[in-house]
Amino acid sequence: MSDFKREQRKNEHVEIAMAQTDATISDFDEIRFVHHSIPSIDVSDINLESSLKDFTLSQPLYINAMTGGSEWTKQINEKLAMIARESGMAMAVGSTHAALRNSKMASSFTIVRETNPNGIIFSNVGADVPVDKAVESVHLLDAQALQVHVNAPQELVMPEGNRIFSTWMDNLAQIVARVDVPVIIKEVGFGMSKETIKQLHEIGIRYVDVSGRGGTNFVDIENERRSYKDMDYLSLWGQTTVESLLESTSYQRDMDILASGGVRSPLDVIKCLALGASAVGMSRPFLNQVENYGITETLNYTEQFTEHMKKIMTMLDARSPKDLKNAQMIFGPKLQSWIDQRNIDIF
Ligand SMILES: Cc1cc2nc3c(=O)[nH]c(=O)nc-3n(C[C@H](O)[C@H](O)[C@H](O)COP(=O)(O)O)c2cc1C
């Protein structure tokens, strides 16, 4: 596949993603917090700092992987990096494969480090990347962590996608053994099962981003790119973010579980943290904000978003994101059925 075609594909992903809308009802609505009337803390008592095993985030919300690899997405990366710098959020770049193949493309990613020299940046590669290239991807950005995306459904619906997956697990084991920053195995909107998380734990992985169903949908995006648009029946494939977090429960002590996929409101973030996530990523909302409304508006949106998170935490008597794990939740019947059928022990 030529570099031009790859560049074109990234732009198509961004264009189609921006036109997507979220389902009106999400799994986050299946969770309710028990309200208690008299908080024992003030909004000013809240500290959003989140400590992960290897680094501390000034707040749990981060900008998740999307862009780089084309002229247009270089500009988007620069804008997102400004938002990350000004707000103190961590930020992941999109897959760096384009830069690893052709150094002319490197600046569409390195712009993120140039714009935000002191920020926390995650680099990103796919599960089939040669180990040396994974190391190179970290150096490219002087990244604090490396996301490795696992995206089998996307590849299979993508007309020109990968058809070889049996090498992934061995390759992931080699990557985690060689790369000297934390490796985050990340889905792209199809969620994770406890079986997958167990396999990853066994090869030494200590970070996953479950990135579940409910937001950006890569079956729909790739189907849109197919001549006959004939794979729409797979649209609901995968676990939602809430289901995936429930699946992760017994690994939360040993691993940092990151959440993303369809997170849209401050209340969604709080629910992810209450379900045990160490940090929470959003992609499409930041893309749409920055492309449709610009940097100042996006910064304002981000500031409001975190202020709202603090208000919800006050109602839940949680001074820190970790305290949210004590919040009392009631699950709707659909979620309870998932918990029962999957034998998940949530307490
Ligand atoms: C335009 C676009 C491009 C993306 N590219 C990547 C990528 O290169 N690597 C990756 O790991 N995830 C990629 N993702 C997936 C996101 O990181 C995230 O897992 C997914 O979009 C779900 O989050 P959301 O519902 O908040 O958008 C992309 C998402 C979007 C919207």
Per DSSP, 240 falls in state B
- CA dihedral (92, 98, 103, 105) positive or negative: negative
Give the amino acid at 344: I
Question: 124 C-alpha to center of ligand 1: Å?
Answer: 11
What pLDDT, on the 0 to 100 scale, is given for residue 347? Answer: 65
Taking a C-beta distance cutoff of 8 angstroms, is the pair 60, 274 a contact? no
- The angle formed by the CA atoms of residues 259, 262 and 266, to the nearest 5 degrees, is 75
Name the phi and psi angles at 197, rounded to 5: -65, -40
Gap between the Cα atoms of 105 and 345, Å rounded: 46
What pLDDT, on the 0 to 100 scale, is given for residue 288? Answer: 98
Q: Per residue in 191-227, pLDDT tens? A: 999 999 999 999 999 999 999 999 999 999 999 999 9
Q: Per residue in 244-288, pLDDT tens? A: 999 999 999 999 999 999 999 999 999 999 999 999 999 999 999
Tokens 């991807």 belong to 137
| Residues making up the chain, counted from first to last | 347
What pLDDT, on the 0 to 100 scale, is given for residue 22? Answer: 86
Residue 287 CA: nearest ligand 1 atom is: 31
What pLDDT, on the 0 to 100 scale, is given for residue 191? Answer: 98
Concatenating the DSSP letter of every residue in 79-146 gives HHHHHHHHHT-EEE---THHHHH-GGGTHHHHHHHHH-TTS-EEEEEETTS-HHHHHHHHHHHT-SEE
Over its C-alpha atoms, the chain yields an Rg (Å, rounded) of: 19
3-state secondary structure 289-301: HHHHHHHHHHHHH
Question: 283 C-alpha to center of ligand 1: Å?
Answer: 6
Residue 239's nearest CA partner among 231, 248, 230 is 248
Taking a C-beta distance cutoff of 8 angstroms, is the pair 269, 280 a contact? yes
Which residues have a Cβ under 8 Å from the Cβ of 151 and sit 6 or more positions away?
Answer: 126, 127, 187, 188, 190, 218
Gap between the Cα atoms of 134 and 183, Å rounded: 10
Strand partners, 147: 124, 184
Q: Which two tokens stand for residue 30?
A: 């299946």
Taking a C-beta distance cutoff of 8 angstroms, is the pair 98, 3 a contact? yes
- The residue ranges of the chain whose pLDDT is under 70 are 347
68 lines ligand 1 (CB under 6 A): no
- The angle formed by the CA atoms of residues 310, 85 and 73, to the nearest 5 degrees, is 115
For residue 169, give the 3-state DSSP assignment.
helix
Which residues have a Cβ under 8 Å from the Cβ of 36 and sit 6 or more positions away?
Answer: 317
Residue 94's nearest CA partner among 64, 120, 114, 72 is 64
Question: 123 C-alpha to center of ligand 1: Å?
Answer: 13
Domains of the chain plus CATH, in order, are: 3-341 (3.20.20.70)
Question: 314 C-alpha to center of ligand 1: Å?
Answer: 31
65 lines ligand 1 (CB under 6 A): yes
Binding-site residues for substrate, in ranges, read: 9-10, 95-97, 154
- The angle formed by the CA atoms of residues 72, 91 and 109, to the nearest 5 degrees, is 40
Give the amino acid at 282: M
